[in-house]
Structure 1
Amino acid sequence: MPVLISTLKLKKKNYTHLFLLSLLSTSLAPSLAHAGLLDWLGINDKATSNQSDFLTADQAFILSSNQTTDSLQLSFDIAPGYYLYRHQLTLAPKLATFGDWQLPAGEPHEDEYFGKSQVYKQPFTLNVPLQHVAEQAYVTVQYQGCTTDLCYAPQTVQVPLSPLAL
């Protein structure tokens, strides 16, 4: 019987050491990663370390607007290495009526997300004629873009409009 007890004590002791070792390594991992030790050892997770290399959608695709007496200009400034999908860009006016407008032609592009499509890699401006704009009018702009290895979720921005002068 003493042999059985000592074996159980030995197994319990080994599990305790394993538990303490895993607890210690888990609590030290963020500090080690921050210090670059995991990179040096070659065991850092590249997927999580590269996430900070990507711009946010607001940084990669900067939307600005300018309204004149009869038109709305929507300008997209696109960061180098990023692109917007032409077919994912939509405008939906609320309490406003637009005249005829068109998206500019894009560059041919093929990727794993949408296959063959057209994209914008350079800054561009949409010129949208305004026919009627009521109080509290706005336009909802939706767009989606990507870069190598990352495709952003569709973005939605509401651009307020000023009533047209009579």
Structure 2
Amino acid sequence: MKVKLVLLLASNLVIQSAIPVYANNNFSLFTNKQQAAPAFLLGEEAFVFSQLQQGDNLNVFWQITDGYYLYKNKLRVTIDGEEQTIKGLPAGKDYHDEYFGDVEIFEYELMLSVPVADLAPGSKVTVHYQGCAVAGLCYPPMTKTFITQ
């Protein structure tokens, strides 16, 4: 009886050690080859932000990497803490997002102008935005703050 139990335990150990573990290593159960997980960019790389004050306008630009997008309804501008209406914002592309439902998005690039003629030099302008990768990663809300000249 002891010999059968030892053999049974030993054979169980051999069988278990021969079975690959797939839970956390991106292996396919059918091909036994490692599959690459999507590599996501940092938010600053996916949504390259720049700004330039030209006369009475502060121009804000995003270069949006292919495969990423910004949400139109997540764009906000505050000046010295007060919410501003963004005028002249272009129409976005209709998109069904798994996190936020039916939304408008911007792909590839976006520019908006913030009028600053009536602002005192040294006013604090903050731009709020949020985007996602088409492959399924949503970034937390991001902000950029700068001081008018």
Pair in the same fold by TM > 0.5: yes
Q: CA RMSD in A?
A: 2.5
The structural deviation recorded for 1:99 is 8.6
Q: Which runs of 4+ in 1 moved over 4 A?
A: none
Cα distance per residue 1:62-97 (max 9 Å; x no partner): 11001011111100100000000000010001189x
Q: Distance in 2 between matches of 1:143 and 1:95?
A: 15
Q: For 1:94, which of 54, 71, 80 is the aligned residue? A: 80
**Counterpart of 1:58 in 2: which secondary structure?**
helix
Verify: 1:126 aligned to 2:112, yes or no: yes
Q: 1:102 to 1:42 in 2, by over 3 A?
A: farther
Q: Distance in 1 between matches of 2:85 and 2:141?
A: 25
Verify: 1:45 aligned to 2:25, yes or no: yes
Residue 46 of structure 2: aligned partner: 60
Q: Distance in 1 between matches of 2:71 and 2:77?
A: 14
Q: Distance in 2 between matches of 1:92 and 1:114?
A: 23
Residue 157 of structure 1: aligned partner: 144
Verify: 1:70 aligned to 2:50, yes or no: no
- Please identify which structure carries the higher helix content: 1
TM (norm. structure 2) is: 0.70
Any stretches of 5+ residues in structure 1 without a counterpart? 1-40
Q: 1:100 to 1:77 in 2, by over 3 A?
A: closer
Q: Distance in 2 between matches of 1:104 and 1:93?
A: 21
Percent of matched pairs sharing the same residue: 35
Q: For 2:99, which of 95, 101, 113 is the aligned residue? A: 113
State which structure, 1 or 2, has the greater radius of gyration over its C-alpha atoms.
1
Equivalenced residues, count: 119
Any stretches of 5+ residues in structure 2 without a counterpart? 1-19, 27-35
Residue 28 of structure 1: aligned partner: none
TM (norm. structure 1) is: 0.64
Counterpart contact for 2:76–2:86, Cα < 8 Å: no
